[in-house]
């Protein structure tokens, strides 16, 4: 009797372990990209029905989700809460990120006698990755470059993993922290944009700056929007057309003497546009990394819904700004400067046919 109970417990333990093994194998298979049930079963040498059953359990546990579900095919994606847009990273890279995060937090506390904030941590990590030429993914996003794994100073990143060149990395981290002279997060961002010679980000920062006086420095506002347009990428073309539309509306509102009256609406549109542009920059910088070079997959599996939401937001806000402009439109003439007249001279018989 006791022997039988012992036997069934033992079977239970073996069975459970094997179930866990299958689940872990499924999660590992999904480490790189979303897969169908068939693709997973081929990868882990398990039959379709078993994989399907365990996927259902993993779904209930919140570890995977159905990305595409049609009658013919179901694609499953591993839920990765610690990376931007759940873009997958390998366990090995995750360990390395944790190691760097932990090292930076440690050194920051030693040198600055306080915890770094999110931006400080992200920027030191990015600089370290660049200087030490570490094989860890970073990308440009809303506030400059970020590690693909989300930084959170409040989290415990302690890890047993230590790089063989730990001493060298530590020195790099210390140098970067000591070089940081900012007195605010805004200043740190500006330092970062200048360091990486990114005029578009520098201009964006100035446009949103509280120091920009829209009442007194109207010319400066116009120049900044123009600079933003000049430095905005043309690819995909919609980035140019959206940015040009905003810049044109800003100029036309200025010509009607209504620029400052609609500062808030303009800044809302600029913010929506920036979120859309920076998502494009996120994608374009990510696909330069070998593991993420398949643009179609990265876009389709992870970024398409975000693109849609942000595109809609910028289109709506620009449409609103255009309505404001049209409602203020009068027959007040815009005076062409001598240089603009030269342009008109050349374009005067242009019809665009």
Partner 1 sequence: MREDSFFDTNVIINYASFSKKVNLKINRICFDYIKSKNGKYILCRYVEDEIKNRIKKRKVVHQEVISKLKDNSYEIGNSDISKSLSDRDIIYAKKLYELYKSEKADDISFIFLSERAEFEKKIEFFLKTQVDELLLKKEEIEVDLIHILFSLIDEYADCKVLASALQIQKDRPVFFLVTVDKEHFYPNGYAFIKDDLRLKSYKFPELRNLLINNI
| Residue 19 engages partner 1 in binding (rule: CB under 8 A) | no
Segment 107-116 long-range contacts (CB within 8 Å, at least 24 positions apart): 107/170, 107/173, 107/174, 107/177, 108/177, 111/174, 111/177, 111/178, 112/177, 115/153, 116/153
Q: How far is the CB of 224 from partner 1 (least distance, A)?
A: 10
Give 170 or 328: the residue with its C-beta nearer to partner 1: 328
Under rule CB under 8 A, which residues in 218-277 are in contact with partner 1?
222-223, 226-227, 229-230, 234-237, 240-241, 244, 247-248, 251-252, 255
| Residue 347 engages partner 1 in binding (rule: CB under 8 A) | yes
Q: How far is the CB of 108 from partner 1 (least distance, A)?
A: 38
| Residue 334 engages partner 1 in binding (rule: CB under 8 A) | yes
Say how many residues touch partner 1, by CB under 8 A.
Answer: 41
Residues 23-52, one symbol each (x = binds partner 1 by CB under 8 A, - = not), give ------------------------------
| Residue 62 engages partner 1 in binding (rule: CB under 8 A) | no
Q: What CA–CA distance (Å, rounded) separates 136 from 122? A: 13
Burial 135-156 (b: 16+ CB within 10 A, else e): ebbbbbbbbbbbbbbbbebeee
| Residue 350 engages partner 1 in binding (rule: CB under 8 A) | yes
Q: How far is the CB of 298 from partner 1 (least distance, A)?
A: 19
Tokens (6 digits) for 303 = 């970024």
Contacts of 168 (CB under 8 A, 6+ apart): 132
| Residue 142 engages partner 1 in binding (rule: CB under 8 A) | no
Residue selected from 45, 47, 70, 351 as contacting partner 1 according to rule CB under 8 A:
351
| Residue 352 engages partner 1 in binding (rule: CB under 8 A) | yes
| Residue 343 engages partner 1 in binding (rule: CB under 8 A) | yes
| Residue 299 engages partner 1 in binding (rule: CB under 8 A) | no
| Residue 326 engages partner 1 in binding (rule: CB under 8 A) | yes
| Residue 197 engages partner 1 in binding (rule: CB under 8 A) | no
Give 103 or 227: the residue with its C-beta nearer to partner 1: 227
| Residue 153 engages partner 1 in binding (rule: CB under 8 A) | no
Give 9 or 199: the residue with its C-beta nearer to partner 1: 199
Q: How far is the CB of 346 from partner 1 (least distance, A)?
A: 5
Q: How many residues does the chain have?
A: 353
Q: How far is the CB of 329 from partner 1 (least distance, A)?
A: 6
Q: What CA–CA distance (Å, rounded) separates 176 from 91? A: 27
Give 76 or 225: the residue with its C-beta nearer to partner 1: 225
| Residue 341 engages partner 1 in binding (rule: CB under 8 A) | yes
Give 58 or 242: the residue with its C-beta nearer to partner 1: 242
Q: How far is the CB of 242 from partner 1 (least distance, A)?
A: 12
Give 167 or 331: the residue with its C-beta nearer to partner 1: 331
Give 251 or 307: the residue with its C-beta nearer to partner 1: 251
Which positions lie near partner 1, rule CB under 8 A? 222-223, 226-227, 229-230, 234-237, 240-241, 244, 247-248, 251-252, 255, 326, 329-331, 333-334, 336-337, 339-353
């Amino acid at each position: 009797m006791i022997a039988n109970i012992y036997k069934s417990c033992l079977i239970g333990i073996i069975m459970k372990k094997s179930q866990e093994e299958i689940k872990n194998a499924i999660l590992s298979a999904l480490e790189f990209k979303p897969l169908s049930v068939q693709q997973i079963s081929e990868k882990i040498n398990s039959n379709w029905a078993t994989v399907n059953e365990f996927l259902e359990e993993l779904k209930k546990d919140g570890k995977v989700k159905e990305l595409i579900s049609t009658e013919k095919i179901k694609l499953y994606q591993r839920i990765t809460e610690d990376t931007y847009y759940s873009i997958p990273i390998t366990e090995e890279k995750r360990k390395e990120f944790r190691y760097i995060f932990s090292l930076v937090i440690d050194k920051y506390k030693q040198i600055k006698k306080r915890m770094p904030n999110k931006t400080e941590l992200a920027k030191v990590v990015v600089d370290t990755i660049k200087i030490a030429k570490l094989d860890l993914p970073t990308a440009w996003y809303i506030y400059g470059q970020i590690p693909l794994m989300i930084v959170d100073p409040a989290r415990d990143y302690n890890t047993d993993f230590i790089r063989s060149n730990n001493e060298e990395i530590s020195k790099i981290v210390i140098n970067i922290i000591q070089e940081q002279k900012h007195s605010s997060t805004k200043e740190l961002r500006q330092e970062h944009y200048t360091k990486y010679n990114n005029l578009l980000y520098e201009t964006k920062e100035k446009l949103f700056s509280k120091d920009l006086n829209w009442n007194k420095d109207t010319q400066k506002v116009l120049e900044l929007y123009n600079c933003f347009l000049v430095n905005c990428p043309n690819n995909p073309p919609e980035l140019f057309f959206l940015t040009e539309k905003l810049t044109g509306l800003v100029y036309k509102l200025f010509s009607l003497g209504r620029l400052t009256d609609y500062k808030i609406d303009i800044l809302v549109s600029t913010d929506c546009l920036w979120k859309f542009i920076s998502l494009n920059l996120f994608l374009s910088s990510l696909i330069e990394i070998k593991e993420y070079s398949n643009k179609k997959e990265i876009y389709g599996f992870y970024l398409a819904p975000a693109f849609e939401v942000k595109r809609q937001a910028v289109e709506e806000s620009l449409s609103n700004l255009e309505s404001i402009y049209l409602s203020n439109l009068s027959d007040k003439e815009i005076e062409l400067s001598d240089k603009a007249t030269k342009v008109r001279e050349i374009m005067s018989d242009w019809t665009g046919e």
